[in-house]
Structures are given as C-alpha cells and as structure tokens.
C-alpha cells in the first residue's frame, strides 16, 4: 500500500540516461552540462510520471545543508510570548523553504547543550537561541559549530554572534515624544525605574527604556516631575509606587515601565479619585494582552514578538547565504516597537480599527520588519 520511494537512479533508468544527466537536468543545470533539451524534457517527464521526490536526507549528507533550522527556547511554547516568536520564525522559515526543529530547555543549561548537539548532529543549517526575557546568556562553545543568532538575548562575553532584540531605547523615545506631542510638559512622572538608577536588577529593558525617555525629555528641556523605581514589575508594585508618588506630587502623565505596573497604577489613580486620561495620562510598554481590555484601554509600545521571530530567521539566513556580519554594529539587530494608540493618553486619536486589525492578521510584509507594525498579540 505504502508506495515505495522512487530514486534518482530509477528516474534516470526510466528516461534512458545516466544518473548524472538526470541530476543536472532536474537541478536546472542542463545548460551547464550541455544536455540537449529533448533529454532534459524526457528526464523531467520521467520524474513527474514516477512521482520522484529527491531524498532530502541523502542530499543533506552530500551537500551539508538540510534546509532545516533549529529553534531552541528557554521557555515553553505555551506562553503567548514564545508562541508569537515561534509563529514569526515559522512563517519566515517557510518563505525560505526551510523547516523548523523546535525544542525548549526549561532553563536547564545541561539540557540546552544536549538539544544543541542533537540538532547540530542532525545537520541543521543554523540555530536560533531564544530567551523569554531580554538578557545576557552564556554561549556554549558547541554553538560555534554552526551559524547562530540570539533572539531576545545578548552574549555575556564578546562572542561574535548576532542578536535580535526589541529596540527598547527607541521605544522610550517614542513614549516620551508621544506625551510631548499630546501637550504634556510638566508633571511627567516615571513608575518602575528612576533616573537615580532604581529598577529591577540587571534589566536591560529598564535602563534602555529610561535612556530613551530621558534623552527626549532632556532635548526638550523638561525634567521628570517624579519617579519611583520598583524592584519587581508587577501590578502590586505599580499600585504601591503610584501611591507613594501621589503623596508627593500631582502628575499630569505617568510613564509606566510595563503594562503590569500600569494596571496597578490605574488602581492607585482610581483610589485617589483621579480619572484616566482626563486628570492623568498613562502610557507604558509591552502591549500585554490585557492592555486593550482594561478600561480605559492602555496606550502602550508593543513588544513585536512576531517580527522578532521572523527577523531572527532572516538574520540567520542572511548569514547562511554567506554574508558573515563582520562589523560589530551589524551584530545586533534592533526591531522597532510599534506604538499602540488607545485611550489612556489625553488628546490622542484612538484608532480602534488599527487595533482590531493588529490582532487579526499580523504577517510580516516583504522584507522590511521595521514597517510591519501590525503585530498580532
């Protein structure tokens, strides 16, 4: 019942030519070998009639390329986060006729090495190492055996390895500019990190978002009216921090360092009898699934998971196609974090249509990830 696989030799035999001729004919390199058009057509015909499909395994053995990429994540494919990363990678890989070998390490370095070697042994063309949160990771030596790119992560040392990360600093700029554009000037306060360096331990996002915010405010000759850092970016901390802030100043706008903090801030503002956005504007980062559900819906700069995944595959493939990144600045590719305009900032037009479209279909258009602001979440 199960039809036997037909080999190139059989096709060649059926067409009455040698294997070499058949191989070149099917590879579209007939001219190269000066194979006559009739012979080429005969081979193609025989191949189609027999239902010939090249054996990718033996081709892989011979050529060294398996048309397969490994994707190793430190977290389960289960969170919306990892899911969208994988989705982007999947689509981009398919566009380039590659398949994805996927695995997760659950944070176990031992397992991570095992999975890397397992994939390398299977001849993957390259490896993508993805992290749930942006962080520095130790690159095992085994990774040097094949091209690799870090997704949402930096090498802890100065290894020559590509990184794809969200552009946190630029996101900070966008947040600050958005506030300025909507008429805010005095009374801009920070929840989550402060210019005095308070914030979560070793959080790259924290310092880069802050940098972006301050650079824009500084250029506009504006000082933050207040800031409360939080060691942990959860709603409870946002609530507490906002309470402390309100005891000292009367903000006109709150920049929360992520959406969860903003959820807490909403609560504190409500407790103080303040309305969003009429009394206080709120803007933040991440575009958590809840951000569009909460009332008033939260204006936030999104982590572009789909684009991150797609970009990782792109960068890897570019590397495979032989343009090894040599200049250090090309080593890290920063993906734009798109602004989701909603209701929580005073005086901004809320494009609910765009929001709906964004959660509908978020494919990367063409090869310009920076333009693809339609991340699905």
Site residues, DNA (CB under 7 A): 5, 7-9, 16-21, 23-24, 26-27, 33-36, 39, 52-55, 58-59, 61-63
Find the shortest distance in angstroms from Cβ 309 to DNA.
29
Q: Which does 20 bind (CB under 5 to 8 A by kind): DNA, a second copy, none?
A: DNA
Find the shortest distance in angstroms from Cβ 320 to DNA.
15
Q: Which does 363 bind (CB under 5 to 8 A by kind): a second copy, DNA, none?
A: none
Q: How far apart are CA 260 and CA 287, in angstroms?
A: 10
Q: How far apart are CA 36 and CA 56, in angstroms?
A: 27
Residue closer to DNA by CB (options 12, 100) is 12
- Told to check if 2 binds a second copy by CB under 8 A, we report yes
Place of tokens 């958005």: 178
Residue closer to DNA by CB (options 38, 278) is 38
Q: How far apart are CA 181 and CA 286, in angstroms?
A: 21
- Binder to a second copy among 7, 60, 234, 250 (CB under 8 A)? 60
Positive or negative: CA dihedral 23, 28, 34, 35: positive
Residue closer to DNA by CB (options 54, 195) is 54
Which string of DSSP letters, residue by residue, matches 269-293? HHHTT--TTTT-EEEEEE--GGGGT
Residue closer to a second copy by CB (options 60, 215) is 60
- Binder to a second copy among 56, 180, 272, 294 (CB under 8 A)? 56
Cis omega (within 30 of 0) for bond into 277: yes
Q: Residues 6 or more apart from 360 whose CB is under 8 A from it?
A: 376
Find the shortest distance in angstroms from Cβ 186 to a second copy.
39
Q: How far apart are CA 358 and CA 334, in angstroms?
A: 21
Other beta carbons less than 10 A from residue 145's beta carbon = 13
- Told to check if 29 binds a second copy by CB under 8 A, we report no
Q: What DSSP designation does 23 have?
A: H
x-marked contacts with a second copy along 164-183 as a string, rule CB under 8 A: --------------------
Residue closer to DNA by CB (options 5, 218) is 5
Q: Residues 6 or more apart from 243 whose CB is under 8 A from it?
A: 268, 271, 272
- Told to check if 328 binds a second copy by CB under 8 A, we report no
Other beta carbons less than 10 A from residue 272's beta carbon = 14
Query: For residues 81-120, which are near a second copy according to CB under 8 A?
Result: 82-84, 86-87, 90, 94, 99-104, 115, 117-120
x-marked contacts with a second copy along 63-82 as a string, rule CB under 8 A: ---xxx-------xxxxx-x
Residue closer to DNA by CB (options 28, 347) is 28
Q: How far apart are CA 272 and CA 20, in angstroms?
A: 81
- Told to check if 61 binds a second copy by CB under 8 A, we report yes
Helix-strand-coil split of the chain, %, nearest 5: 45, 20, 35
Q: How far apart are CA 292 and CA 112, in angstroms?
A: 36
Count of residues binding a second copy (CB under 8 A)? 45
Residue closer to a second copy by CB (options 243, 363) is 363
Residue closer to DNA by CB (options 38, 329) is 38
Q: How far apart are CA 80 and CA 278, in angstroms?
A: 32
Q: How far apart are CA 340 and CA 53, in angstroms?
A: 47
Residues in touch with a second copy (CB under 8 A): 1-3, 5, 53-58, 60-61, 66-68, 76-80, 82-84, 86-87, 90, 94, 99-104, 115, 117-123, 144-146, 376
């Amino acid at each position: 019942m199960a039809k036997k696989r037909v080999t190139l030799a059989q096709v060649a035999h059926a067409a009455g030519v040698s294997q070499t001729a058949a191989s070149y004919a099917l590879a579209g390199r007939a001219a190269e070998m000066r194979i006559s058009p009739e012979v080429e057509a005969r081979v193609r015909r025989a191949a189609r009639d027999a239902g010939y499909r090249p054996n990718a395994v033996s081709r892989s053995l011979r050529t060294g390329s398996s048309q397969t990429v490994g994707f190793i994540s430190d977290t389960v494919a289960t969170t919306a986060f990892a899911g969208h990363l994988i989705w982007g990678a999947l689509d981009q890989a398919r566009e380039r006729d590659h398949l994805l070998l996927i695995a997760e390490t659950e944070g176990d370095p031992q397992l991570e090495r095992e999975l890397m070697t397992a994939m390398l042994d299977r001849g993957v063309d390259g490896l993508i190492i993805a992290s749930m949160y942006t962080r520095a990771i130790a690159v095992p030596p085994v990774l040097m055996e094949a091209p690799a790119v870090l997704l949402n992560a930096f090498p802890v040392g100065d290894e020559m390895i590509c990184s794809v990360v969200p552009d946190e600093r630029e996101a900070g700029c966008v947040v600050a500019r958005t506030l300025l554009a909507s008429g805010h000037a005095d009374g801009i306060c920070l929840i989550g990190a402060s210019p005095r360096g308070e914030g979560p331990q070793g959080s790259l996002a924290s310092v880069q978002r802050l940098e972006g915010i301050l650079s824009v405010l500084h250029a506009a000759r504006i000082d933050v009216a207040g800031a409360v850092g939080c060691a942990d970016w959860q709603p409870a901390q946002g609530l507490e921090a906002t309470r402390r802030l309100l005891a000292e100043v009367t903000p006109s706008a709150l920049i929360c360092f992520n959406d969860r903090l903003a959820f807490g801030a909403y609560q504190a503002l409500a407790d103080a009898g303040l309305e969003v956005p009429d009394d206080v504007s709120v803007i933040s980062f991440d575009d958590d699934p809840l951000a569009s559900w909460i009332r008033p819906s939260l204006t936030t700069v999104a982590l572009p998971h789909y684009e991150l995944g797609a970009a990782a595959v792109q960068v890897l493939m570019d590397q495979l196609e032989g343009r090894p990144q040599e200049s250090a600045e090309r080593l890290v590719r920063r993906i734009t974090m798109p602004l989701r305009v909603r209701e929580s900032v005073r005086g901004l037009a809320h494009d609910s249509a765009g929001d709906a479209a964004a959660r509908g279909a978020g494919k990367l258009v063409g090869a310009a990830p920076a333009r693809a602001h339609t991340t699905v979440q």
